[in-house]
């Protein structure tokens, strides 16, 4: 009998409860912010420009929260195998992600740039899952980047072209060791919430699950002035046949 079945016999699935508490904690932050913004709209004397800005912030915060809820749903359904792997252009995907996240970055006074490359690469991946991994990296980098230096998104070939790496480099304070651990331990126990700075690392944990579903891996390199997150996936052989 599996551990989770044991837990169900007792009436409570503690593993699910842990995940639920962490997800609830993670969603509390955007919901609290939305409430603060709504209260300002309701009770503050605001100029038209301020009203537009608050409305934009509410939209961006909602979208970020919705990304997390959709990620959680998809992570639960990974075992169903209802996604396909296909050849995709990772450079183009990076451009699309940078475009999608740019309103949030602009509102926060940050910038995300895609590093140009000459030779095209082709990867085997599920486009939606890979997009979600990069959006998770981008959400995370927003916390850890400074105003002066853009976050960089780049694509490179590794292991003699067998593996494609999509990496996101931010420039800011060093990555807390807890975020690093969350990559390796998956979703943690509820009591860990209080020990974690800023975020539970749930987004990064989901990114790891998405990568593994595509036979890929997620990793991070800590730098003195920031961090690089990457996802490694297999290259498509199609280009070499041309």
Partner 1 sequence: MNIVLVEDNILLSHQFRRIFEKNGYDVSVSPHAVGAIDLIDEMRPGVIVLDMLLTGSTALPLLHELQSHDDLARIPVVMVTSLAPDLSFETLKPYGVTHLLDKATMHPDDLLAAVRSLTL
Q: Which is nearer to partner 1, 110 or 132 (CB)?
A: 110
With residue 33 as reference, give the H or E element that holds it: helix 14-43
Piece in contact with partner 1 (CB under 8 A), picked from 53-61, 114-122, 127-135, 157-165: 53-61
Smallest distance, Å, CB 173 to partner 1? 5
Could you tell me the CA-to-CA distances from 64 to 20, 67, 129, 225 in Å, in that order?
18, 5, 16, 26
Q: Which is nearer to partner 1, 58 or 164 (CB)?
A: 58
Q: Is 20 in the site for partner 1 (CB under 8 A)?
A: no
- How far apart are the C-alpha atoms of 114 and 188, rounded to whole Å? 32
Piece in contact with partner 1 (CB under 8 A), picked from 72-80, 90-98, 166-174, 234-242: 166-174
Q: Which residues contact 137 (CB under 8 A, 6 or more apart)?
A: 168, 207, 229, 231
Contact 97, 63 (CB under 8 A): no
Q: Which is nearer to partner 1, 29 or 102 (CB)?
A: 29
Q: Which is nearer to partner 1, 3 or 103 (CB)?
A: 103
Smallest distance, Å, CB 181 to partner 1? 14
Could you tell me the CA-to-CA distances from 11 to 4, 51, 106, 220 in Å, in that order?
11, 48, 47, 38
Contact 181, 9 (CB under 8 A): no
Residue with tokens 């590794």: 158
Smallest distance, Å, CB 4 to partner 1? 27
User: Site residues (CB under 8 A) for partner 1?
Assistant: 25, 28-29, 31-33, 35-37, 39-40, 43-44, 50, 54, 57, 60-61, 107-110, 142-144, 172-176, 194, 196-199
């Amino acid at each position: 009998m599996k551990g989770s079945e044991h837990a169900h016999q007792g009436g409570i699935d503690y593993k699910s409860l842990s995940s639920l508490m962490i997800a609830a904690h993670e969603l509390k932050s955007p919901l609290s912010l939305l409430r603060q913004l709504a209260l300002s709209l309701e009770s503050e004397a605001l100029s038209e420009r301020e009203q537009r800005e608050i409305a934009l912030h509410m939209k961006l915060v909602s979208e970020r929260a919705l990304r997390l809820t959709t990620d959680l749903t998809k992570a639960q359904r990974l075992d169903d195998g209802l996604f396909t792997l296909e050849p995709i252009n990772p450079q183009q995907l990076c451009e699309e992600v940078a475009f999608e996240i740019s309103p949030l970055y602009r509102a926060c006074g940050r910038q995300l740039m895609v590093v140009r490359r000459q030779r095209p690469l082709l990867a085997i991946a599920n486009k939606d899952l890979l997009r979600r991994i990069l959006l998770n990296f981008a959400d995370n980098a927003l916390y850890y980047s400074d105003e002066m230096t853009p976050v960089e998104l780049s694509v490179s070939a590794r292991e003699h072209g067998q593996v494609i790496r999509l990496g996101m480099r931010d420039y800011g304070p060093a990555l807390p060791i807890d975020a690093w651990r969350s990559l390796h331990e998956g979703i943690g126990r509820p009591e860990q919430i209080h020990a974690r700075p800023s975020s539970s690392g749930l987004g990064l944990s989901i990114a790891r699950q998405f990568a593994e579903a595509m036979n890929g891996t997620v990793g991070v390199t800590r730098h003195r002035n920031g961090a690089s997150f990457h996802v490694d996936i297999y290259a498509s052989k199609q280009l070499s046949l041309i």
